[in-house]
Amino acid sequence: MFDVDTIRAFLDDAHAAFAADADTFARAELRARAEPVSDDAARREARVILELLGHGWLEPIPARDLRKIALAREAIAAASPLADAVYALQALGAMPIVLADGGASARWVKEAVAGRAMGAFAMTEDDAGSDVASMRTTATRDGAGWVLNGEKAFISNAGIADFYTVFAQTEAGKGSKGIACYVVPADTPGLAFAGAQVLSSPHPLGRIRFDDCHVSAETCLAGPGDGFKLGLATLDLLRATVGAAACGMAARALEEAIAHARERRQFGESLAGFQLVREKLARMATELAAARLLVYRAAWVKDRGAARVTLESAMAKSYATEAAQRIVDEAVQILGGRGVLADHPVDRLYRSVRALRIYEGTTEIQRLVIAGQLLDRGKG
């Protein structure tokens, strides 16, 4: 059952009820779904999952209810890392439109929340990961509209998304001050899927290419310079929910490890009777509790009206994702050979949790952000 008690100080009654409902949904509808055996199968499965999520679970996104988004991701990630990826991309694809009050593009938010349209967040390039300002995809004015050229890489939902939130450079040499943001429907001429990038854990990922892709003025969510700010605001808002997903994966790993320790017998007694196993379980549970407190503190601060939660979110994501990696690894160790069998939930968690330490800002970048925030305090 979803552990509400640890984070209860950061939840009101409605959030506590939502957590219980999300846990029930995830266990009933997602946990038993088989892991796709190929990239093509993962792409088909992502569509099925999106339809399931469209029955109300995505509604906290346009409401900007960060605690509900975090609670949903934690429950969903514990049941299915692929389903969490689907949820995360609906948030990342739609949130820039929400924050920018996207006008004509607002229709995509409604479709995304209903599970009828799949979103994608197209910022990363081969040479523009942590250094977003070095992106080379260009946007050139063409009358009232724009023409996009370039290629994006490591884009979740590439090839299956119905719309892409795209960041592009409008003027060479301007860096972050030249970046704008656009909503580009997948069927726009000049936009093409440029191939899959296959992960060890099922996750639709790939490249998209823009070849003289004409988009109207209405698709521009934020002009030169403001696009970079919009991208950072989106990541700042949602970053703590990556930590929530990490907590969900860690909680599932701990659950599996405890069950195995109780049932598995070696040398005449259960694993739970060995002090080294107990030490591992105690450390796993403590790290999980600490991670969840950081995550829901960040979400609570934002939901109470804070303009930015840069420090809180960076702490939450960096600690929770690193802790989850350690917790899942310890779960594999407790399960032994069973923990590395491809059909075991802990093996799937082991393959899935690693990416969380990289996407939406690596742990190293988050620590630089934390230090910068601390050093800037008290400056005149």
Residues annotated as catalytic are 360
Q: In the beta sheet, which residues pair with residue 119?
A: 163
- The CA-based angle 178-85-252, given to 5 degrees, is 140
Report helix angle 226-263 to 310-335, nearest 10.
30
Q: What are the backbone angles phi and psi of residue 299, rounded to the nearest 5°?
A: -65, -40
Compute how many other C-beta atoms are within 10 angstroms of the C-beta atom of residue 278. 13
What is the three-class DSSP state of 301?
A: helix
Counting other chains too, the contacts that 303-309 makes at CB distance below 8 Å and 24 or more residues apart are 303/65, 303/66, 303/67, 308/233, 308/236, 309/236, 309/237, 309/240
Question: For residue 279, what are the CA distances in angstroms to 165, 196, 249, 271, 329?
Answer: 46, 42, 20, 12, 14
